[in-house]
Structure 1
């Protein structure tokens, strides 16, 4: 019977991507889908030590000896995924110190992507925008729903990662426009008045 690894190799389908490379202190962080969580051969090949399932009712059974944590989350903008941020962060932090781990949901697009983005924000002290772009570069299909993005941005503030807000192009243009002196406008204690040149009168 063909495994998912054989399928991936033949059709160039990627069920899991490396988000953070292994270091001297941490193993590799993989973000993937349902199939990567099912494929025991893939897990053995990549020496996975733990699997974090961020989904409900998937009935995942990782390979023997692999630690498995399940977070019963649904992919809905109204769902409070942030209630699981801390426990997922702690689980990932502990097991990454022991080797490679896989974080997944059904498609590896929304729920698990949001959890991985939060982990990067908290562990590397990166802003939401930088963390999101990094994960997007590594796994192009990610697309956390708008509710999860809002929660991540809220935690960006709670983590103290927002130092200043960059002005949008429209705001910058408006600022420049408002800074130009106009006729009869009082600025502070000075009055800026534009005058027109009067035509010269010749005396005979």
Structure 2
């Protein structure tokens, strides 16, 4: 794994021969694989030194520090199941079962019975008019089908009924490649597979990734609270959803109920992807998922995000106008040159004085646009030529 260390990084000994590293709202637990491996003092010292450097230079997530880490992250070759295991958290409220590929022991008699109950219970509930039956009616029919008394499984059956009820509320298709849903949708493997979901964006702190070996996950570990800074994550969530779209796959964005955190994230995605203002994006999402209701803080953050996107759009338009005028001038000058002269952008970038002379422009004028902008102007020329 590749683990960047930020200013908030803390290292804790667990008293069991290992230690944990908490950073960027994530906790990574390191356990020794053998007695020999417990001799990790030098590694621990190196970690403490790296943390001290991070605090000294104020390395914080989202900054331009440690950008080189992405080079190594892109070269991690472990299978997705092992990578996702790093996202497992001990204090979540909704826990996932072991991944199917990890089952190694023969299930107990109780486990086999529970699996059968789960299957039969779903079939019964799908066939019944749930407005006109009670939990006892369903449990009685379940006992008749299984030909046994399920009194000792009463609590398990009641809990499964709640889960199945939640899963029967299907996720909402917002765009062809984006579904918006709840915890129940994220835990319904059959539904996820039938809808073609391959990417899951989990916008919760309290809910685990239910199938880490089967889907590609991205976690935004936040609570639905006024103090939560969700805006800080929308650039990452946009990239994740875009990656699913580029792969021709579908992405489920979920929180606890699919009302506030995940809905806000999808609205932010729509604003950036389609250039919509907040009102248009909000109405579009709410029209498809009527329970959409970001908390007041998230609405303020969406308004702020709208302002940020508008500023970028204005800068882009301004730059495009300037680039267009410069491009036309350069094209005019280049046409006056001999056809044998090579119009080389790399030569321009390396020798701006030569480029200025070539185009009969003042060197100071070239300096105003800068090297990076000159390169963009060149590609602008090649597009409109």
Gaps of 5+ in 2: 1-117, 131-164, 314-385
Structure 2 residue aligned with 1:46: 195
Structure 2 residue aligned with 1:148: 298
Q: Secondary structure at the match of 1:103?
A: strand
**Distance (Å, rounded) in 2 between the aligned partners of 1:103 and 1:4:** 27
What CA deviation, in whole Å up to 9, does each residue of 1:112-171 have, x standing for no partner?
Answer: 0000000000000000000000000010001000000000001101101899xxxxxxxx
Gaps of 5+ in 1: 22-27, 164-204
Structure 2 residue aligned with 1:133: 283
**Distance (Å, rounded) in 1 between the aligned partners of 2:299 and 2:263:** 10
**Distance (Å, rounded) in 1 between the aligned partners of 2:225 and 2:309:** 24
Q: CA deviation at 1:14?
A: 2.2
**Distance (Å, rounded) in 2 between the aligned partners of 1:73 and 1:66:** 21
Q: Superposition pairs for residues 1-204 of structure 1, below 5 Å?
A: 1-2=118-119, 13-21=168-176, 28-62=177-211, 64-98=213-247, 99-160=249-310
Structure 1 or 2: more helix by fraction: 2
**Distance (Å, rounded) in 2 between the aligned partners of 1:34 and 1:84:** 20
**Distance (Å, rounded) in 2 between the aligned partners of 1:103 and 1:67:** 12
C-alpha contact (below 8 Å) 2:206/2:223 kept by paired residues: no
C-alpha contact (below 8 Å) 1:114/1:144 kept by paired residues: yes
Structure 1 residue aligned with 2:91: none
**Distance (Å, rounded) in 1 between the aligned partners of 2:203 and 2:278:** 20
**Distance (Å, rounded) in 2 between the aligned partners of 1:139 and 1:5:** 25
Evaluate the alpha carbon distance shift between residue 154 and residue 44 of structure 1 in structure 2; reply closer, same or farther with a 3 A threshold: same
Q: Which has the higher contact order (CA 8 A, sep 6+)?
A: 1
Evaluate the alpha carbon distance shift between residue 90 and residue 3 of structure 1 in structure 2; reply closer, same or farther with a 3 A threshold: farther
**Distance (Å, rounded) in 2 between the aligned partners of 1:88 and 1:150:** 18
**Runs of 4+ residues over 4 Å off in structure 1:** 3-13
**Distance (Å, rounded) in 2 between the aligned partners of 1:57 and 1:81:** 15
Evaluate the alpha carbon distance shift between residue 29 and residue 16 of structure 1 in structure 2; reply closer, same or farther with a 3 A threshold: same
Q: Secondary structure at the match of 1:60?
A: coil
Q: Secondary structure at the match of 2:291?
A: coil
**Number of residues paired by the alignment?**
157
CA RMSD, 1 decimal: 2.6
Q: CA deviation at 1:2?
A: 3.6
Evaluate the alpha carbon distance shift between residue 96 and residue 4 of structure 1 in structure 2; reply closer, same or farther with a 3 A threshold: farther
* TM-score normalised according to structure 2 size: 0.38
* TM-score normalised according to structure 1 size: 0.70
Q: Secondary structure at the match of 2:217?
A: strand
**Distance (Å, rounded) in 1 between the aligned partners of 2:191 and 2:236:** 26
Evaluate the alpha carbon distance shift between residue 56 and residue 9 of structure 1 in structure 2; reply closer, same or farther with a 3 A threshold: farther
Evaluate the alpha carbon distance shift between residue 14 and residue 149 of structure 1 in structure 2; reply closer, same or farther with a 3 A threshold: same
Q: Secondary structure at the match of 2:310?
A: coil
